[in-house]
Amino acid sequence: MRELPKQPGLLRRHAEAPVREALTDTRIVALIGPRQSGKTTLARKIAGDTGMSFITLDDAQSRRFANADPNGFMRGIDRAVIDEIQRAPELILAMKQAVDDDPRPGRFLITGSVELFRSAISPDSLAGRVETIELLPFTQAEIEQRDVPEFLARAFAGDIPAYRETGRTPELIERVVAGGYPEALRRTNATRRVAWLRAYARALTQRDAAEISVVAKTDELSRMLEFAAAASGRLTNLSALATPLGVDGKTVDRWLTLLEQMFIVRRIRAWHSNRLKRLVRTPKLHFLDTGLLAALRGDSAKDLRTDRNKLGSLLEGFVHAELAKIAGQASSYASVSHYRDKDKLEVDFVVEKAGRIVGIEVKAGATAKPEDFRGLKRLRSATGEVFAGGIVLHDGERIQCAGDRLFAMPVSQLWA
């Protein structure tokens, strides 16, 4: 993989422009994402540029004062960044009062390592006062210092050439196992990177999870995360995850919800239509970073080069992570689901925007075969004119039309 800057956390982030724009007309802007995704670095940069105070609740003294007297803590603060606000959730109500008394835009930029307004940490008490922007680990476009990818815009517009030589995706396997966490990418030695990622996973399950939910069995939660890594890319089976842990399916469901709120995994809903009755409704489980996923699985770049079957599920997760980041951009917001019917025909990802659909299938091979399009053809038949296009992403070297609104292309087209 190409050498990164000495401080990859300082790479330009695509979320920066939306955050700055939101601060011009919104009282509170919430920048949320997993720990170590770069939120604090970006928030400090914006605070320095705009003259906002910077307060982090990772600091023990600030956290004690904020929890002991939230209203007193907020008194006298004019404009500020408040970092890791989930560590003092009562501040949110005090902040609500502050911006109701003084409704100027750009009063507060808050960061959080949980989905603040979709979890028990905070009710949605800031409705109409807050704009939420996600910052997930680096996209490949950010690592390459490219602009926001136009992949989805081109796919929905049908703006894809019938044939073009592109070359294979550079260092694809290295990209998959490296992932996008800035701190992990600083470690060019693969063994050291894996050690950091596994330590990160332990900290999430044994410390951070307990801050936002009652978790009596943190060791079991750690084990469940490893079982979830083994099941990534499959239909979610709560019983299969629960049995080796000696807990019930409801407990696993609650733990998965907790990991979702911490931006570690996502359950991708099944696409459905009232007109079609033979569709599977079970969600699929995916991780939001394949560096973490590969570390939990114990899969190295060498392993993936010698066993393409292992690469297949990790590559699907890699594409999911890129799509989740692109689709979450305010300018191109779209929903991502998966398709599977009773005949076991499936499409890895169904992206929906403004009533239109793009299907995406992921293959680890160097070429796309006619049978790789079977699920996409079924989806095209089921959706008619709503179907904007179907794409097979592969480890090959050219874009090629494969039929009516069907294309094969290299994975790098996600960010090229």
* Whether the predicted pLDDT of 71 surpasses 70: yes
Instruction: Give me the CATH number covering residue 64.
Output: 3.40.50.300
What pLDDT, in 10s, does the model give residues 79-101? 999 999 999 989 999 999 999 99
- What distance in Å separates the CA atoms of residue 335 and residue 352, rounded to the nearest whole number? 5
148 in any annotated domain: yes
**Number of domain units in the chain:** 2
167 in any annotated domain: yes
Q: Do residues 297 and 311 both lie within one domain? A: yes
DSSP 320: H
Name the band, by pLDDT with cuts 50, 70 and 90, for residue 222.
Answer: very high
Q: Do residues 126 and 155 both lie within one domain? A: no
Instruction: Give SS3 for 7.
Output: coil
Q: Do residues 281 and 305 both lie within one domain? A: yes
% of the chain surpassing 90 pLDDT: 84
Name the band, by pLDDT with cuts 50, 70 and 90, for residue 355.
Answer: very high
Q: Do residues 279 and 372 both lie within one domain? A: yes
What is the predicted pLDDT for the residue at 121? 56
3 in any annotated domain: no
Q: What is the mean pLDDT of the chain?
A: 92
What is the predicted pLDDT for the residue at 393? 98
What is the predicted pLDDT for the residue at 274? 65
What pLDDT, in 10s, does the model give residues 241-277? 999 999 999 999 999 999 999 999 999 999 987 666 6
DSSP 207: I
What is the predicted pLDDT for the residue at 9? 54
Q: Do residues 109 and 144 both lie within one domain? A: no
Arithmetic mean of pLDDT, 106-114: 96
- What distance in Å separates the CA atoms of residue 119 and residue 213, rounded to the nearest whole number? 9
Q: Do residues 349 and 214 both lie within one domain? A: yes
375 in any annotated domain: yes
What is the predicted pLDDT for the residue at 219? 86
Q: Do residues 336 and 220 both lie within one domain? A: yes
**36: containing domain:** 8-134
Q: Give me 232's structure tokens.
A: 């990534």
Domain-terminating residue out of 107, 134, 161: 134
Name the band, by pLDDT with cuts 50, 70 and 90, for residue 230.
Answer: very high
Please tell me the pTM assigned to this model: 0.94
Name the band, by pLDDT with cuts 50, 70 and 90, for residue 8.
Answer: low
2 in any annotated domain: no
Arithmetic mean of pLDDT, 392-401: 97
Q: Do residues 95 and 233 both lie within one domain? A: no
85 in any annotated domain: yes
Domain-terminating residue out of 77, 110, 134: 134
Domain-terminating residue out of 108, 134, 160: 134
Element (H, E) at 307: none
- What distance in Å separates the CA atoms of residue 218 and residue 221, rounded to the nearest whole number? 5
What pLDDT, in 10s, does the model give residues 147-189? 999 999 999 999 999 999 999 999 999 999 999 999 999 999 9
CA distances 104 to 48, 73, 75, 99, 133, Å, are 19, 19, 16, 7, 19
Question: 197 with 295: CB under 8 angstroms?
Answer: yes
Q: Do residues 307 and 280 both lie within one domain? A: yes
Question: 117 with 134: CB under 8 angstroms?
Answer: no
1 in any annotated domain: no
413, 404, 411: which is closest to 368 by C-alpha?
A: 411
Arithmetic mean of pLDDT, 364-373: 95
* Whether the predicted pLDDT of 39 surpasses 80: yes
DSSP 280: -
